[in-house]
Structures are given as structure tokens and as C-alpha cells.
Amino acid sequence: MLVLFAGIMTGANAQKERFKALFIYNFTKNIEWPPQVKSNHFIIGVVGNSDIAAELQTIAQTQKVGNQTIKVINGNSTDELEFCHLVFLSGNKTAQLPHLLTKLSGKQTLIITDGKNLAAKGSGISFVQDGDKLKFEICRRNIEKQGLKSSSALANLGIVVD
């Protein structure tokens, strides 16, 4: 029975991870990417959470960002992320956020985190769980600081923490 319930919890989490990956892909459509990063692959870096990375890999098989094919890299450290267009820092790696911000400062990278009040602490977008509802905080200032521009839809639909 314990194994069953452990499995149940894992299954419910997988559903959430699937939607987070769908949101991440959707966010790419709501960011104005500068021309200089619109060549070669569109690289998404995932720090921690291999489930989201796997979901993004599946999306990468059929979808593009603009004309760019998607490449997903997954690791536990922030060291390999310098060439990423988008970096997702999973909840259990939040401690690495300051280091990540320093490393990617002004590098036209969208930084997405997973946890409450993290957009105020430097990320562009951060997932927050409100009961059963999946929501996101958005800090336009942080996005612009990275050299990117966000669509009005992001601000309209997210929790703005500018």
C-alpha cells in the first residue's frame, strides 16, 4: 500500500511537471528574442528536475521556437548554461539562483524558477502553486535586464511583481 501511495504522489507530480514544460514552451512564444540569438539551436537548460527536462525533450522532438530547433540540456550545476536561451532552475536548486544570475547577467537568457517570491529575487518568471492551481509570477524588469522583452499577455496572465 505504501508503494501504491508513493506511486500516486509521483504520478500527480508528473502531471504538474508536464504542464510546467508546456508553460515553458509557451513562454518562449511570448518573449521577443533579439535577432542575434535567432540562429542555430534554441537551447533550454534545466538545472535539476529531470522530469521537466524529459518533457521538454519530447516537445523538442516536434516543436520549434520560431525557426530554431530546440535542444535541451539537463544538469545539476549552473556552470554549463552560458549559451542557453532559457534556463529553468528547479525548486530544489533555488539556492543556486544568485550564482546563476551573476553568470548569465545580460546574456539575453530568460531565467525561470520554481517557487514563491523568486521573481522578486531576480528570475524573470517563477512558477507558484496556489492550491491546485498553477500560476506564475513575472518580473518584466528582470526580463528586460537580461536584454529581452516580454509580451503583454505574460503580464496580463501572470502575477506581476515589478
Partner 1 sequence: MTINSFLSRRWLTALAFSASCLVAVNAQEATSTVSEMTSEQIQQLSYNDLLQLSLEDLITVANKFGMSADEMLEYFLNKDIVAASKKAEKSMESPLSSTVISKEQIERSGVTNIPEALRLAPGVIVREKTPGNYDVHVRGYDNIPSNNILTYSENMLTLLMIDNRPVYSYAFGGTFWETLPIEVSDVERIEIIRGPSSALYGPNAVSGAINIITKKATSKSVAVSFDNALGNNNTNIANIASTFGIGNKLLARVSGNYQWNGRFQNDFFTFYDSRYHTQDFLEITKDKDGMYLKENASDIEPNPRRAGEKFGGNVALYYPVNDKVNFELAAGAQKSAVLTSMLGNRMVPFSIRESQTQYIDFKANAGGLQAQVNYMAGDQEYEKMVKGFHIDLQSFNANLEYDYKIQNLSLRPGVSYQQASYDDSKYVNTAIKEGYLNGKCVLSTVAAFMRADYTAFDKLRLVGAVRWDKYNKPDVTHMTYQFITSYKINDNHLVRGVYSRANRGPFMTDTYSDFTWQRIPGAFNILYLGNENLKLPVMDMIEFGYRVKPVKYIQADFEVFQTKTKDYSWFMPQSIAIKLSESGKPMMEGIIGYDNFDMTTTQIGFSGNIQIAVNKNLTMNVFGNIQKTELDHFYARKASEILEEMVGKLQTPDQPVNNEVKDADFVDQTHKSTPSYYGGGSVNYIFKEKWNINTSFYYYGKQTFAMTFMDTEIPAKTLVNAKVSYNFAKENKVFVNVRNLLNDDSNEFAFADQIGTKFFAGVQLNF
Q: Applying CB under 8 A, which residues contact partner 1? A: 4, 7-8, 10-12, 14-16, 18-19, 22-23, 25-27, 29-30, 58-59, 62-63, 131-134, 153-154, 157
- Give the Cα-Cα-Cα angle 93, 27, 115 (nearest 5 degrees): 30
CA–CA gap between residue 62 and residue 6 (Å, rounded): 32
User: In the bound complex, what is the minimum distance in angstroms from residue 126's beta carbon to partner 1?
Assistant: 15
* Partners of residue 110 on adjacent β-strands: 86
What's the DSSP call for residue 31? E
- In this complex, which beta carbon is closest to partner 1, that of residue 46 or of residue 59? 59
- In this complex, which beta carbon is closest to partner 1, that of residue 25 or of residue 42? 25
Residue 42 buriedness (CB in 10 A; 0-12 / 13-18 / 19+): buried
User: In the bound complex, what is the minimum distance in angstroms from residue 13's beta carbon to partner 1?
Assistant: 9
User: In the bound complex, what is the minimum distance in angstroms from residue 27's beta carbon to partner 1?
Assistant: 8
